Chain A
């Protein structure tokens, strides 16, 4: 008599998957997708952060070089003029009578350099040094030594002392490194701009 049950070896393999297998697979895939998303987000954030950071670094280096060259070329620090509080940082008088002035814009994100011809208040030239976020800028003059400092803003909007940082206003600001720059230069150091002494040929 033929048996009604088929041998085990002849059974068809089970079709489909069990619930546990499905849950495990979904769990594994979700872990992989979450990790990849976090990684992608981190990479994109790092890319934009580094682009902003190196923009700020390039701007700082450019400003330092230009400021030092201007101080070296200047004959004296120009007398202060009326300007909105905190806007004008410093102005230098050149040997030819022209003026170079540095301003900090109202949004505190930009340093402007303006070149003025003698007796003409309209700028002949202008350069902007833009930073990714607001910063504080201070120029101090001690005899012939000029000191420019850029740094994080303190609670009162002025330069924060070392180690004291104002709480960030936005999450983006919290991630940003504030600019850090100090330039010291001696007034009129570049001898090419000095008037020739009696009987001396200009270099």
Chain B
């Protein structure tokens, strides 16, 4: 039978309890390990972000370089390039699985609109290529400033 005296004794013992229970310790360790694993994941994602940033810059440079090449090519070679566009060896070495596509619009007022698109193996990049449009003198050789 629980008496008032025994209850008071229990309360007094609880108040005097020092230290932590194993359960509390486990909860604290669990929270800490969750924080550490989330932070470690962030570090890994940071590394991927750096690679992604570089790939983006290399892809933009590659598109600009290909557009320059198209400008320098004679009309027949340009048509051949547009029929089967391919990334440069440098881009192929640095951008995994890089593919280049080109769309040429019909010439208008001596200029031809050419759109180049590049995509490579990266999360969220396939199906969402980078595009660069340029207006080059059409095959007739007419130039406008």
Binding site for B on A (CB under 8 A): 9-10, 13, 17, 21, 28, 32, 35-36, 39, 42-43, 46, 49-50, 53-54, 57, 60-61, 64, 68, 144-145, 149, 162-163, 177, 180-186, 189, 191-192, 203
Contact = CB atoms under 8 A, between A and B. Distances in A.
B29 A28 contact: yes
Contact of A189 (B40, B58, B71, B89): B71
A50 B46 contact: yes
A43 B45 CA distance: 12
B43 A46 contact: yes
B57 A9 contact: no
A168 B64 CA distance: 32
Interface in B69-105: 69, 71-72, 88-91, 93-94
23 contacts: A13-B17, A21-B19, A28-B29, A32-B32, A35-B36, A42-B43, A43-B43, A46-B43, A46-B47, A57-B54, A60-B57, A144-B72, A163-B93, A177-B54, A180-B58, A181-B61, A182-B61, A182-B62, A184-B65, A184-B69, A186-B68, A191-B143, A191-B145
B25 A46 contact: no
Contacts of A61: 57
Nearest to A179: B54
Size bin of chain B's contact surface? 35 or more
Contacts of B94: 180
B53 interface: yes
Given A43-B39, A180-B58, A191-B145, A53 B17 contact: no
A46 B46 CA distance: 8
Contact of A183 (B6, B43, B65, B93): B65
Given A149-B90, A162-B89, A182-B90, 9 more contacts: A13-B13, A42-B40, A50-B50, A57-B57, A163-B93, A180-B54, A182-B88, A182-B91, A189-B71
A68 B64 contact: yes
Contacts of A64: 61, 64
Nearest to B71: A186
Contacts of B88: 182
B128 interface: no
A189 B145 CA distance: 10
A177 B143 contact: no
A109 B114 CA distance: 37
Contacts of A182: 61-62, 65, 88, 90-91
Contact of A39 (B6, B36, B58, B64): B36
Contacts of A177: 50, 54
